[in-house]
Amino acid sequence: MALKKFRPITPGQRFRLAPAFDEITKATPEKSLLAPNRKSGGRDSSGRRSMRYIGGGHKQHYRIIDFKRNKFNIPGKVASVEYDPNRSARIALIFYADGEKRYILCPNGLKVGQTILAGTGSAPEVGNSLPLGEIPLGTIVHNIELHPGKGGQMARSAGTYAQLLSREGKYANLKMPSGESRLVLLTCMATVGTVSNPDHMNVRLGKAGRKRWLGRRPRTRAVVMNPVDHPMGGGEGRASGGHPRSRKGLYTKGKKTRSPKKYSNRLIKAKKAKK
């Protein structure tokens, strides 16, 4: 996947870096795999605004993605690679041998016409999904389950992956995208390969209007608010406002928020890498 740079004919195109969409093979989605995606505008059930900076945006359909990959030992053929407005990664439409159609997260390098398989005994090839107990050590994986049968929850965004480091008893030791090493049950499923669209992190929108098309309204910095609106507000001139805090007065940017009694603490072998 590549990025397009534009001739600066307008100010909005001067610094814009847009995806080239070279890998997209079909423009219209599969109708049977669509669901309504109703926008809230940041309002709660009583109609009051409970989340700031949300509103507008282009109308979208939700694509129903198969995160469970539970079509075991039934070969599926990649029919198309498509754009999904709900996620940073690309999605692939799979036609299974029994006639069913499903969307999956498209791994990097998956081509139209390729055959994929899921379940025990599958080859550890790109796009195939199998239990961590059967994947060779050192393999790059994504869409990893935390609980057997629940569906993939980790390493699902564009360009992310985890690496299978070792096996310890009934657990597999995975190095996560954050740098954290974590134990996951060997019976949990994972898909071989890296998630597609790795250049997503380098996209530059170029203008504020494009941000509005995505449903994001302008963000007001806390230090320019009044004291009544935010703990960082107030002061004479361009006052910094002291230590960064949230609207509720809780310290942010560095304060640990993870519970020391969280059930999964015992499964974390090494903490996240510090930036």
At 242, the pLDDT band (50, 70, 90 cuts) reads: confident
Is residue 96 located within the same domain as residue 50? yes
Residue pair 141/192 in contact by the 8 Å Cβ criterion:
yes
Helix residue ranges per DSSP H, the chain:
11-14, 208-213
**How high is the pLDDT of residue 172?**
97
Distance (Å, rounded) from C-alpha 202 to C-alpha 199?
A: 5
pLDDT band at 275 (very low <50, low <70, confident <90, very high): low
Residue 214's φ and ψ, nearest 5 degrees, are -85, 0
E strands within 7-100? Answer: 17-19, 34-36, 61-63, 76-82, 91-96
Q: Which domain holds residue 243?
A: 220-275
Inside any domain, residue 215: no
Segment 73-94 shows an average pLDDT of 97
Identify the residue whose tokens are 């041998």. Answer: 97
Q: Are residues 157 and 269 in the same domain?
A: no
How many CB atoms are located within 10 Å of the residue 247 CB? 14
Tell me whether residue 274 is exposed, middle or buried, using C-beta atoms within 10 angstroms of its C-beta: 0 to 12, 13 to 18, 19 or more: exposed
Residue 205 belongs to some domain of the structure:
no
| Total domains, the chain | 2
How far is Cα 141 from Cα 108, in angstroms, rounded to an integer? 11
Regarding whether 274 and 186 lie in a shared domain, the answer is no
224 in the same domain as 136: no
Claim to verify: residue 38 and residue 112 sit in the same structural domain: yes
**Contact status, residue 103 vs residue 65, Cβ threshold 8 Å:** yes
Q: How far apart are CA 154 and CA 213, in angstroms?
A: 28
Same-domain status, 174 and 240:
no
Do 182 and 250 fall into the same domain? no
Residue with tokens 């507008």, as numbered in its chain: 56
When pLDDT is cut at 50, 70 and 90, the band that residue 224 belongs to is: very high
**Tokens matching residue 189:** 């499923």
Q: Is residue 256 part of a domain?
A: yes
Give the pLDDT confidence of 12-69 residue by residue, as tens digits. Answer: 999 999 999 999 999 999 999 999 999 999 999 999 999 999 999 999 999 999 999 9
Q: How far is CA 155 from the centre of its chain?
A: 7
